[in-house]
Amino acid sequence: MRIGELAKRAGTTTRALRYYEARGLLPAQRDGNGHRTYDESDLRLLRQIRTLQDFGFGLEETRPFVECLRAGHPAGDSCPASLAVYRAKLDELDGLIGQLRSVREQVAAQLARAEEARAALAAGAEVPGGPEPVCEMTHGGVFE
């Protein structure tokens, strides 16, 4: 099949296919006129690349999976190098999750402090709900 048909079947662009080819991930054969030609195995490689990218893998991280398929394995993740990429990605995700948990705890603590301060203001106010907020960056309604 030609590049346009492969792109259409894979739900991507011809530009992306040329980029993958330039990076050595999706080799193309050439016909007598110099046009790129592909077969079903190329579509399989491309689907592997796209699936991994949809999961957040970088293009270079897809290389072991592609090489595994090119070597004739039934699945791109049946080779040791692919499994190593999975492990590294999980470690990366665990680190990001830890960072997000830490940020969440900080935001939750800040919210709790703000709600306590607001409740204390409201308890001492003559008007239900507390005093009107005042912007400390203005002087008489005009920014300093």
pLDDT digit string (tens) for 87-110? 999 999 999 999 999 999 999 999
Structure tokens that stand for 135 in this block: 């912007």
pLDDT digit string (tens) for 40-58? 999 999 999 999 999 999 9
Q: Interior CA angle at 108 toward 119 and 114, to 5°?
A: 25
- Give the pLDDT band of residue 133 (cuts 50, 70, 90): low
- Give dist(CA 19, CA 62) in Å, integer: 14
- Give the pLDDT band of residue 122 (cuts 50, 70, 90): confident
Is the pLDDT score of 86 beyond 60? yes
Is the pLDDT score of 134 beyond 70? no
Q: Name residues whose C-beta falls within 8 Å of residue 129's C-beta, 6 or more positions apart in sequence.
A: 122
- Give the pLDDT band of residue 120 (cuts 50, 70, 90): confident
Q: Name residues whose C-beta falls within 8 Å of residue 65's C-beta, 6 or more positions apart in sequence.
A: 48, 49, 52, 76, 77, 79, 82, 85
DSSP bridge pairs for 30: 36
pLDDT score, position 21: 93
Q: Which amino acid is at 99?
A: Q
pLDDT score, position 135: 60
- Give dist(CA 89, CA 40) in Å, integer: 28
